[in-house]
Chains A and B, each alone.
Chain A
Amino acid sequence: MSRLDARRNREAELLKIRTRRHFFSDCGVGLGAMALATLMGGRSGAATAKNPMAPRAGHYAPRARHVIFLFMAGGPSQLDLFLPRPELARRHGEPLPASLLAGKRFAFMDSFAKEPPRLLASKRRFAQHGQSGAWVSECLPHLARVVDDLTFIHSMHTEPINHAPAKLFTNTGSTQFGRPSMGAWVTYGLGSESSDLPGFVVLQSGPRGPRGGSVLWGSGFLPTAYQGVPFRNGPSPIVDLATPAGISAESQRDVLRTIQDLNRTRLDVTGDPEIATRIAAYEMAYRMQTSAPELMDLTGESAATLALYGAEPGQPSFAVNCLLARRLVERGVRFIQLYHTNWDHHGGPGEDLDESLDAVCRDVDRASAALITDLKARGLLDETLVIWGGEFGRTPMGEIRERTGRNHHVQAYTMWLAGGGVKPGQSIGETDEFGFEVVADPVHVHDLQATILHLLGLDHLRLTYHVQGRDFRLTDVGGRVITKLLA
């Protein structure tokens, strides 16, 4: 297909979308809203508040309107990517000083009794990059080129030492089940600016899904309308989006119109405003049937853009998901979370810091950098907060397994942020000579969460929900905004 043809097709498609919307604005929303207004006798508030995703103001002016959280599932090794520690090379093979180990808990700790953990030098070469002089290893050459747009936090620390609880903690601020995820809190607080896509979208790539599954994007005790909607690969990302096989578009449209008409009749009889909400939900569902495939269709993206990300249309990948994340932001979606597996490099087969780390870095390096470049070029980086990191980092000590690997480490690890409201080109926090413990500017997971909310214009102390006899918040009983991070 020539470029011109592609363009014509796209215009025709857009026209079709507009026509369908027009149909609904005349026949659907119009009547529904009229019926509602009559019914409610001018009572405002409850009726309009019926759309849980209606955009609303936060506590103060936001610095960012969207979040893209690139979740590196498994725990990337900061010591092989972002944090050179020459002392590890000098003392490679020596046991970690016992004083550091005292009172700490680790995964697979029962093995420590047999064999004390020993320091492990990184095999990776590091260099400083950009004006900011940030250290990035050879594993991430593309990301190295955009370091001046990023802010590294080398002093992250968290609590749980195992994957599923730690992922839950990073996402919900608690290791207890039943708490809402960050995306749910944010859409509860702010709604979404997209009227025909979900407000909180989850994308995933890599050899396996993230450990923990649905609780990571669940709504906990918040209404289920705020739970993240996982998108599948392919043209029909949302479950049950496509018109069923064997049913024509005309039939689908007529069926829908009849449903709406009969629901309106029932609304008149029963007077239950809930039916008006359902009518509106069917209208949005119908719009989604167009907007979601349109979102997933990358044919309108230029060859240069596809190359920038390393995305191949039709081939599910982290790169495609990054590109989709940008497209979701363009369409007003509030919170987008990408999970990519697998960063759990213990040193077993397929989980080592050699080829396995190379492979996962190849998966994410180009696309992560491209996302920053592309958002910036389109003027979207200012209003989009991008976050990169996992549920914890990895130990300065090696593990005794077949190949080279490191254990889970919660005392100090690295994440980076970019975009809306973040002061770029900085490195926050310092660790000791081994990268074992934070020695300056510690940033707890709750601090990160408080900061994310802050950038979105939400006060983490005031974004609360009353349940089980008390007010709950994302940051539990902690959280301080990281002021150094703010632009």
Chain B
Amino acid sequence: MIGPRFLGFLTLAAAPWGWLKGDEVDYLRDVKPILARHCVACHGVERPRGGLRLDTGVAVLRGGDAGPVVVAGDPESSELILAVRGEGSGERMPLKRPPLVESEIEVLRRWIAAGAEVPDDETPSEPGGVHWAFVAPKRPAVPEVSHSDRVVNPIDAFVEVELERGNLTPNPEAERSTLIRRLSLDLIGLPPTPAETAAFVADERPDAYERLVDRLLASPHYGERWARLWLDMARYADSHGYSIDGPRSIWPYRDWVIRALNGDMPFDAFTIDQLAGDLRPEPTLDQRIATGFHRNTPTNMEGGIDKEQFRVESVVDRVNTTATVWLGLTLGCAQCHDHKYDPLSMRDYYALFAFFNSSDEPEMAVAGPEAVAQRDQIREQIADYLESIEGDAQLRELQSAWERGLTPAERQALTEEVRKALDVPLDRRDPIANRPAFAAFVEQARLPELVEHQRRIAALRKQEPRLATTLVVRERAERRETRILLGGDFTRPGEPIEPGVPAVLPPLESSACAAGPTRMDLACWLVDRRNPLTARVLVNRLWQTFFGRGLVETDADFGTQGTPPSHPELLDWLAVELMDRQWSLKSLQRLIVGSAAYRRSSSVRADLLDRDPENRWLARQARIRLDAELIRDSALAVSGRLTRRIGGPPVFPPQPEGILNLGQNRREWVADTGPDRDRRGLYIHIWRATPHPLLTVFDAPDPARTCTRRVRSNTPLQALLLLNDEAFVECARSLAERTLAESHASDTARLDSVFARVLSRAATDRERLRLLDLLEAERCRAGEIEAWTSIARVLLNLDEFITRE
């Protein structure tokens, strides 16, 4: 397999088994999970193959029918080691499954070499049933540590225990200027202003840090920052995808997420509104908008498709996304066959499928009933007007000529309803079916005979209230029957199945609905305290955002093939804490960023790089490249260009030419020229087929599927974009103008000012000299503004600027 060999250069990837060099192997912590993961399915308590059980240490030492498999102190003679290497007396183990990776074998080898010690009072591991993630978390006791001075809150005690065990000295707390930059970027996605930095650095009150955290959590920009992460999971985009990739209006959903997060809506309510807001008693407008979560699936509008096929694909996507986002499970495997590794069956899959199989997918006006009534009234007037002229023989002839003269591109630009009408020749077309076509003709054809009609209709249109619309989910009156789809194929329905939850997880509460469990029951079940996964998966993702990797590195796979948590007790403690805090995200975030672990310097010490290269044990903070949108947001902010308006329809900042030519339908990208040109990145119109280069080049996910963690690449195309893109050059110019507009006694003072504005810290002598050199050289060549623009370009291109340190 090529995989592991190449893992080195992936920022995300880590050694699959992170552990400390020079550390002792502990059976329970290190060996047992490996055996449970790879071996216990066949060598467990039930019918162990070859009479060999590997579910307890004592059993491992006892051996099987063929004798012992471990020779304490001599790994090279131990059948266990030989078997997993494929050098044993039989076939390579695990049989017909992926082999153990080298680091896992090394753990087993070292455990045996060190004497193969095991406890005698151990609970046997079972395949599946008691996989740690399927047992609800209980609050563990906060451990005692020697260096209590390094403990600010309970999080640190859990981290410190491991550091002490590995004899690792953590980095000291970061500089205050680094801390405010880190907190600002993490919590609101914008760098601090020079004034904010100066104030915090000078703030001597003992609770200065906590005050800063509170201020940022209360900022309206907090919701923007954290909404973007959620929108990755929701696969949000402003177009339908597939071939035609027409535009869609679902931004009210995006704005709902921002509002919900800003208001610290408890995560349980946040979940219920998105999965089943329409099933709340008398749902509010917001609760219906929230159901847009599952309307972010791509829609195929290509001609000649079987609609049922793509409806089923959408439902499949909804099941997979729900499982990934809330349960951290790779349930998608069970669409076509029982899961190979986790105890998830095809029945489980289609039982979940059944929850999502009875929805309609309407568009909804985002407005109160009065506005909607007013709009409908005008529309009726227009329809009446059209009806009054539709009998006109001359118009009919003109319509026929217009239809014949349409080019394929013009035809494609018409709505689907009109195209469908056009499929039947006019003389054979049903009068009702002709109405949309007739309306399109009257309003769009450029003919002198139509001018008067068009004027009248336009006058009515002017009075029509422009209501934003959004896509929502609505339960059908009649349920669709769900059947298992053999091989996942919608043309091969198998036995019928009722809505339900995976058998390995706690059962569903009895439903209030007579017809059987609904999406509401599913949503409530997901956020029930007995659900072992949702809270863990969520706190792990929060942790991942703050530290660059989760306590469980495979944040979307908490199953048996995922990596076990580095700090299992911390994970459980946080999960229980979150639920005890009524699912308040802000409260948990406050706790995490308050920890000493979070505040540490991110300097990569040589000894740490050697002993814990992946920073699994958190002796330091991580340097994290900013997400695509935040890179531009930061440039807009420091240059003073940022338009801080929150929410609204998507915007069109400048983008290089030719991007939209790559989709099937050529579209124009007309860049905004007003304040919308400088809105935050999460408002950029996302065409699925032709995304903005800022997004693709800096690893924003493809919204075709849910994404729970972005990759972070480091490529020449990123350098080109920062160096040459019109948007960044604009920012550099504005930053230069802004800098020149300030009054300063000297170049040095001016330079210090712009440096601090961009990087939130003072320049070192060396940095200052280097930049002054450039300033001089540029002045000789061009003018003052050009020289300072060059300084600004340098600063906006620095690795430090696009990194949260």
Residues of A whose CB lies within 8 Å of any CB of B are 39-41, 43, 45-46, 49-52, 105, 107-109, 161-165, 176-178, 188-189, 198, 204, 208-215, 218, 220, 223-225, 227, 229-230, 232-233, 238-244, 247-248, 250-252, 254-256, 258-259, 261-263, 265-266, 269-275, 277-278, 281-282, 284-286, 288-289, 348-351, 407-408, 462-466, 468-471
Contact = CB atoms under 8 A, between A and B. Distances in A.
A335 to B, nearest CB: 16
Contacts of A282: 716, 719, 723, 797
B340 A224 contact: no
Interface of B: 1-3, 6, 8-11, 98, 242-245, 298, 300, 302-306, 330, 332-333, 340-342, 407-408, 491, 554, 556-557, 559, 561-562, 602-606, 609-610, 613, 623, 625, 656-659, 661-666, 687-691, 693, 696-697, 699, 702, 704-705, 711, 713-721, 723-726, 729, 764, 766-767, 770-771, 773-774, 777-778, 781-782, 786, 790, 793-794, 797-800, 803, 805
Contacts of B98: 471
B212 to A, nearest CB: 23
Contacts of A284: 716, 719
Given A105-B306, A274-B799, A281-B714, A240 B693 contact: yes
Contacts of B330: 468-470
Contact of B2 (A165, A270, A464): A464
A224 B799 contact: no
A278 B298 CA distance: 35
Contacts of B665: 208
B3 A177 contact: no
B242 A211 contact: yes
11 contacts: A162-B304, A165-B242, A178-B704, A213-B662, A214-B689, A214-B691, A224-B699, A225-B713, A239-B659, A243-B724, A272-B604
A164 B556 contact: no
Given A224-B711, A471-B3, A271 B408 contact: no
Contact of B302 (A164, A198, A266): A164
Contact of B778 (A43, A238, A254, A469): A254
Nearest to B798: A262
Contacts of B610: 41, 43
A241 B724 contact: yes
Contacts of A220: 702
A204 B662 contact: yes
Nearest to B721: A240
A447 B371 CA distance: 58
A50 to B, nearest CB: 5
A255 B408 contact: no
Of residues A198, A204, A212, A350, which shows the largest number of chain B Cβ atoms within 10 Å of its Cβ? A212
B664 A209 contact: yes
Given A164-B302, A209-B666, A211-B302, A227 B245 contact: no
Given A45-B8, A223-B713, A251 B666 contact: no
Given A213-B689, A240-B725, A281-B716, 15 more contacts: A39-B606, A208-B666, A212-B243, A214-B688, A223-B713, A224-B696, A239-B658, A239-B693, A239-B721, A250-B781, A258-B773, A259-B794, A272-B604, A278-B714, A469-B333
B606 A271 contact: yes
Given A262-B770, A468-B332, A255 B556 contact: no
Nearest to B305: A162
Given A242-B724, A271-B604, A177 B702 contact: yes
A223 B2 contact: no
B715 to A, nearest CB: 5
Q: Which of B342, B714, B797 has the most CB of A within 10 A?
A: B714
B1 A462 contact: yes
A456 to B, nearest CB: 13
Contact of A162 (B8, B302, B554, B719): B302
A469 B556 CA distance: 9
B300 A469 contact: no
B635 to A, nearest CB: 14
A223 B341 contact: no
A49 B8 contact: yes
Contacts of B306: 105, 109
Contacts of A289: 720
Residue of B559, B661, B764 ringed by the most chain A CB atoms within 10 A: B661
Most buried by A among B1, B702, B799: B799
Contact of B714 (A41, A189, A277, A351): A277
A224 B717 CA distance: 11
Nearest to B786: A251
A244 B786 contact: no
A265 B408 contact: no
A214 B662 contact: yes
Nearest to B602: A270
B724 A240 contact: yes
A50 B9 contact: yes
A184 to B, nearest CB: 12
Contacts of B729: 244, 247
B3 A49 contact: no
A137 B221 CA distance: 64
A469 B693 contact: no
A193 to B, nearest CB: 16
Nearest to B659: A239
Contacts of A218: 702
Contacts of A244: 724, 726, 729
A176 to B, nearest CB: 8
Contacts of B714: 274, 277-278, 281
A154 to B, nearest CB: 25
A462 B2 contact: yes
Max chain A Cβ within 10 angstroms of own Cβ: one of B665, B724, B797: B724
A45 B8 CA distance: 7
Contacts of A271: 603-606, 609
Contacts of A241: 720, 724
Contacts of B777: 254
A464 B713 CA distance: 20
Given A255-B794, A258-B770, A46 B613 contact: yes
A239 B720 contact: yes
A255 B774 CA distance: 7
Given A468-B332, A469-B341, A248 B781 contact: yes
B794 A258 contact: yes
A223 to B, nearest CB: 5
A196 to B, nearest CB: 9
Contact of A288 (B491, B716, B770): B716
Contacts of A233: 658
A360 to B, nearest CB: 14
Q: Which of A51, A210, A218, A470 has the most chain B CB atoms inside 10 A of its CB? A: A470
Nearest to B330: A469
A163 B303 CA distance: 9
A368 to B, nearest CB: 22
A41 B774 contact: no
A275 B602 CA distance: 13
B604 A273 contact: yes
A270 B689 contact: no
B767 A265 contact: yes
Contacts of B407: 349-350
Contacts of B697: 239
A53 to B, nearest CB: 9
Nearest to A197: B716
Contact of B719 (A176, A258, A281): A281
Contact of A230 (B662, B781, B790): B662
B310 to A, nearest CB: 9
A224 B714 CA distance: 9
A107 B304 contact: yes
B243 A211 contact: yes
Of A40, A161, A218, A271, most buried by chain B (CB within 10 Å of CB) is: A271
A333 to B, nearest CB: 14
A85 B717 CA distance: 49
Contacts of B696: 214, 224, 227
B419 to A, nearest CB: 11
